[in-house]
Structure 1
């Protein structure tokens, strides 16, 4: 049972996730990735190859990738449940477990530890810096909608400035537009145009 999540520290309460279910889902994803890798190896094989050679000759990639990705999903979710917090630590722990599984076929402990350190450090650093390639995102940043509203309010230009740049007309009718239009027509054509009333006087 996971420890209770502390509230009041500005963080959203953590909802525990079934680690076994996440691991099985990750195994399925890894199996698909492994099958794609085996099919690609089979396509570039210089020896005689058929459909079954995807599984017989190059099929090792399927369980290998399935167990690797499954270990990542199970490990990261289990650590997050134990800590009641999903952050770079849980991501690094799960990736380190997956990296160790990835290096098991070598049967050499330095290689296993090396893959675990490589996978764990990369995943931890990636999540710590925001979990996206577009740039850093602070974990305590406000909601995306609130952030956009704040940016829109701070960068909103006055309507007078916008009208001064694009001009009046074409559906843009700020206050006093009709008076200025009549004045321009009078200066250009020499006669005054009275506005048309929408109602009929009795």
Structure 2
């Protein structure tokens, strides 16, 4: 029997766009501040806005366009997948080309952003691609992976030897015998006298 399909939960486009715009505007302001600091002329603190205001506006426009396109495409298609990410990447990247007033740059940046963003989504970002079964519990999956990769204790002892927190069953008795044979110290008797 096939698992029931999850119903699509629409995204709040305006709230997400406002949040993304704010974040990308802040990133743009930081980059503008760094550029303002590295200029040879002393332009003052207002130079962030007067000289580098276009960078801040560009970052804000890219963030807003990307998020509005992504949420709108997802809401219209009622799917949140990498195709929505690719459409949003193309729209956001195109803003960079439009700012340069170049059609080749518009298309190139749009395609470049679309490829990067859809690949990032397909590979599940930094954590990497992993097919997730809807019925699979994350804790059970991790426990199964631990058991799959766990090595037998005897194999570990053969490679590393005993000590450093790795002890085979019967280690205390073998230790007592070695100490008695080598140094003549009976550990069991010494522990009883305490």
In the superposition, the TM-score normalised over structure 1's length comes to 0.73
Q: Which residue of 1 aligns with 2:79?
A: 85
Q: CA deviation at 1:157?
A: 1.6
Q: Which residue of 1 aligns with 2:107?
A: 113
Equivalent pairs counted in the alignment come to: 189
Distance 1:167 1:179 in 2: 16
What does the per-residue CA deviation read over 1:3-35, in whole Å, with 9 as the maximum and x for residues that have no partner?
A: xxxx826x7654332111110111101211221
The SS at the match of 2:41 is coil
Contact 2:86/2:114 (<8 A) preserved: yes
| Residue 28 of structure 2: aligned partner | 34
| Structure-1 separation of matches of 2:53 and 2:78 | 38
- Contact 2:29-2:56 within 8 A present in 1 as well: yes
**Which residues of structure 2 form unaligned runs of 5+?**
none
> What displacement does 1:110 show?
4.1
* Secondary structure, aligned partner of 1:60: helix
Structure 1: where are the runs of 5+ without partners? Answer: 1-6
> Residue 25 of structure 1: which of 9, 19, 23 is its match?
19
Corresponding residue number in structure 2 for 1:4: none
Cα separation, 2, equivalents of 1:113 and 1:193: 80
Query: Is the 2:157–2:167 contact (alpha carbons within 8 Å) kept by the matching residues of 1?
Result: no
* Counterpart in the other structure of 2:130: 138
Q: Distance in 1 between the 2:183 and 2:54 partners?
A: 87
- In the TM superposition, residue 185 of structure 1 has moved relative to its aligned partner by 4.8
Alpha-carbon RMSD across the aligned residues, in angstroms, is 3.4
1:98 maps to 2:92 = yes
Secondary structure class of the residue paired with 2:92? helix
After superposition, give the CA deviation of every residue in 1:139-197 in whole Å (9 maximum; x if it has no partner): 43666544432331112122233344454567766543454345445544679776799
Contact map agreement 1:130 1:139 (CA 8 A) in 2: no
Higher helix share: 2
Q: Is the 8 A contact 2:32 2:48 kept in 1?
A: yes
Is the deviation greater in 40-49 or in 27-36?
40-49
